[in-house]
């Protein structure tokens, strides 16, 4: 009887630990190959093409210096046409036919999330370059290297508080914009964490009574008694400009603060001088002084004849990070490479320093900008680089 119970207990322990043993055992080394997935011909093609451009420049630079572990990287790309089937089929081809070590995905929904099961199941590293959405429980081999908006809001408010002395904020949220609702929560937490005060919150949009921002600004002015250091708005640039125009009309002198969506020419085309002084964050700065950013920008300009954007920079960083992990692992065994990725601390790329936290989420700081005007030209000037 005891023997039977012992056998049963042993079987139970092995059953529980089997996935751990399976994950820990060494995989076969793979060829020095990396894949890229993204839309190259659909209405979202700009994201796929910029992702491919950034990744290609990284591979070219690495190979010009001898490659990784003495081998040149081969790059394979597939157009997923911004469809679920296109993204999944592309991933399967990259995994089964080309046996890639890792895949860099464009920041579109299907490219970023469609193939995650196939990649994770095959122990292929999958790095989505630029998506705003958190990965959730996508698997141990799934990562993103884009700037998390919660950390971006935290860094932006830290700049406002520590460098500008802002303490009192009003917040306006676009209720019909899911991202605006989420970003408002991040900014509110950041303000409270810095011991600041949210003097009033206003929700604008259909059904709120504040669709044209006139009453929204009036409420802010009334509840703050005109004493507000900044107006946080988490919606679009056009709406942000309309808010600031109305604030100027009502004599409420406080700058606009928000996320990367404000960094559009639409902001000053609509708001003119009322939006000068706007503080916003982004994941990449074309005027960054870091040696990694300067090098990437130079390579991109020489190759493409234009300035790179954040998507290209993040794709470039994803390939550079993956190659660094392969070096650290001294192997193309993807289990070892994954462990090296997780243990890379303070990796420096064109988009700043980065490490990975729980669930493949990046730990990064934002680039903070201030909208300025010189003569008749408006431009976002980098004021804080971590």
Say whether both 165 and 269 belong to one domain: yes
Say whether both 156 and 140 belong to one domain: no
- The answer to whether the beta carbons of residues 1 and 308 sit under 8 Å apart is no
- The answer to whether the beta carbons of residues 381 and 367 sit under 8 Å apart is no
Does residue 251 lie in a domain region? yes
CATH number at 233 reads 3.40.50.2300
Does residue 46 lie in a domain region? yes
Q: Which pLDDT belongs to residue 279? A: 98
Say whether both 71 and 91 belong to one domain: yes
Q: Which pLDDT belongs to residue 137? A: 80
Does residue 25 lie in a domain region? no
| Opening angle at CA 34, ends 126 and 143, nearest 5 | 15
Exposure letters 49-66 (e unless 16+ CB within 10 A, then b): bbbbbbbbbbbebbbeee
Say whether both 236 and 314 belong to one domain: no
Say whether both 219 and 268 belong to one domain: yes
Does residue 82 lie in a domain region? yes
Does residue 368 lie in a domain region? no
Does residue 219 lie in a domain region? yes
Which residue range is the domain that position 206 belongs to? 150-282
State the Cα–Cα distance between residues 41 and 56, nearest whole angstrom.
Answer: 18
Does residue 335 lie in a domain region? yes
Domain boundary at 282, 299, 334, which?
A: 282
Q: Which pLDDT belongs to residue 136? A: 78
Give the total number of structural domains in the chain.
Answer: 2
3-state secondary structure of 377: strand
Q: What is the mean pLDDT of each run of 10 residues along the chain (386 residues)?
A: 47 41 58 98 95 98 97 98 96 98 96 96 96 86 96 98 97 92 97 96 73 85 91 96 95 96 96 97 95 97 96 98 98 97 94 92 96 96 90
Say whether both 154 and 270 belong to one domain: yes
């Amino acid at each position: 009887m005891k023997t039977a119970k012992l056998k049963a207990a042993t079987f139970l322990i092995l059953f529980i630990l089997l996935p751990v043993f399976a994950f820990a055992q060494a995989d076969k080394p793979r060829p020095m190959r990396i894949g890229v997935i993204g839309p190259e011909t659909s209405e979202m093609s700009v994201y796929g093409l910029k992702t491919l451009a950034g990744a290609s420049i990284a591979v070219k630079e690495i190979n010009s210096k001898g490659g990784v572990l003495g081998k040149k990287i081969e790059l394979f790309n597939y157009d997923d046409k911004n469809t679920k089937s296109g993204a999944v089929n592309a991933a399967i081809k990259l995994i089964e036919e080309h046996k890639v070590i890792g895949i860099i995905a464009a920041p579109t929904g299907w490219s970023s999330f469609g193939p995650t099961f196939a990649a994770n199941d095959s122990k292929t590293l999958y790095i989505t370059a630029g998506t705003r959405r958190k990965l959730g429980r996508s698997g141990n081999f799934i990562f993103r290297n884009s700037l998390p908006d919660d950390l971006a809001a935290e860094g932006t408010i830290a700049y406002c508080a520590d460098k500008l002395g802002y303490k009192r904020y009003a917040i306006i949220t676009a209720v019909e914009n899911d991202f605006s609702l989420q970003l408002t929560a991040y900014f509110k937490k950041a303000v409270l964490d810095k011991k600041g005060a949210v003097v009033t919150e206003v929700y604008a949009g259909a059904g709120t009574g504040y669709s044209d921002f006139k009453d929204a600004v009036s409420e802010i002015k009334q509840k703050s008694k005109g004493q507000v250091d900044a107006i946080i708005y988490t919606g679009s640039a056009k709406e942000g400009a309309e808010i600031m125009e109305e604030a100027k009309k009502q004599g409420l002198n406080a700058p606009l603060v928000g996320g990367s969506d404000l960094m559009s020419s639409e902001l000053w085309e609509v708001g003119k001088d009322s939006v000068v002084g706007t503080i916003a964050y982004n994941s990449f700065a074309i005027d960054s002084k870091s040696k990694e950013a300067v090098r990437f920008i130079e390579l991109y300009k020489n190759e493409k004849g234009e300035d790179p954007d954040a998507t290209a920079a993040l794709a470039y960083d994803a390939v550079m990070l993956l190659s660094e992990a392969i070096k650290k692992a001294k192997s193309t065994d993807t289990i070892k490479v994954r462990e090296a990725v997780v243990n890379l601390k303070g990796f420096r790329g064109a988009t700043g320093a980065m490490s990975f936290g729980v669930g493949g989420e990046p730990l990064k700081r934002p680039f903070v900008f201030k909208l300025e005007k010189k003569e008749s030209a408006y431009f976002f000037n980098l004021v804080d680089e971590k």
